Amino acid sequence: MAKDVPIGARGEAEETVQFGHTLTSHHPELPPVYSTPDMIRLMETAAFHALQPYCEGDEITVGTSINIEHRAASGIGARIKAEAALESFDGRFYILRVTASDEVREIGRGTVGRAVVSVGRFTEKIRDGGR
């Protein structure tokens, strides 16, 4: 990443909870509340948005770690907003503080790690069996 990313760089992502985002859609015996994997996906998207403006050429960031607490339930129709802010970095690895909230309260928080990769080199590596 040629451009320096300032600590505190921010990104966000929003979605409205649909049936497909609920536990019920994966397991009919579970309640129709926003699933943890969907909340994490939205947090990862916010983290991607925080770092992408600093990428150059065919660079993107990909997820490398997740440390998340899902603290409250949200139902179908709730508007969820995830926010990410860069907390630290070490070479090409970045740690972002993330939160997710519905219209009433914070529903999740934690950190996600991301690394910078070149899409071309990354796809080439996968094609070669990861070597």
Torsion of CA 67, 76, 80, 29, to 10 degrees: 0
Q: In whole angstroms, give the CA distance from residue 116 to residue 59.
A: 7
22 is catalytic: no
69 is catalytic: no
Considering the candidates 21, 59, 61, 70, report the single residue annotated as catalytic. Answer: 70
Q: Which of 67, 1, 64 is nearest to 36 (CA)?
A: 67
Domain boundaries, the chain: 10-127
Q: What's the Rg (C-alpha) of the chain?
A: 16
36 is catalytic: yes
Note the pLDDT of residue 92: 81
* CATH architecture of residue range(s) 10-127: Roll (3.10)
Considering the candidates 21, 22, 44, 61, report the single residue annotated as catalytic. Answer: 44
Considering the candidates 12, 15, 24, 36, report the single residue annotated as catalytic. Answer: 36
**pLDDT tens track, the chain, 131 positions:** 657 899 999 999 999 999 999 999 999 999 999 999 999 999 999 999 999 999 999 999 999 999 999 999 999 999 999 999 999 999 889 999 999 999 999 999 999 999 999 988 878 877 877 66
The pTM is what? 0.91
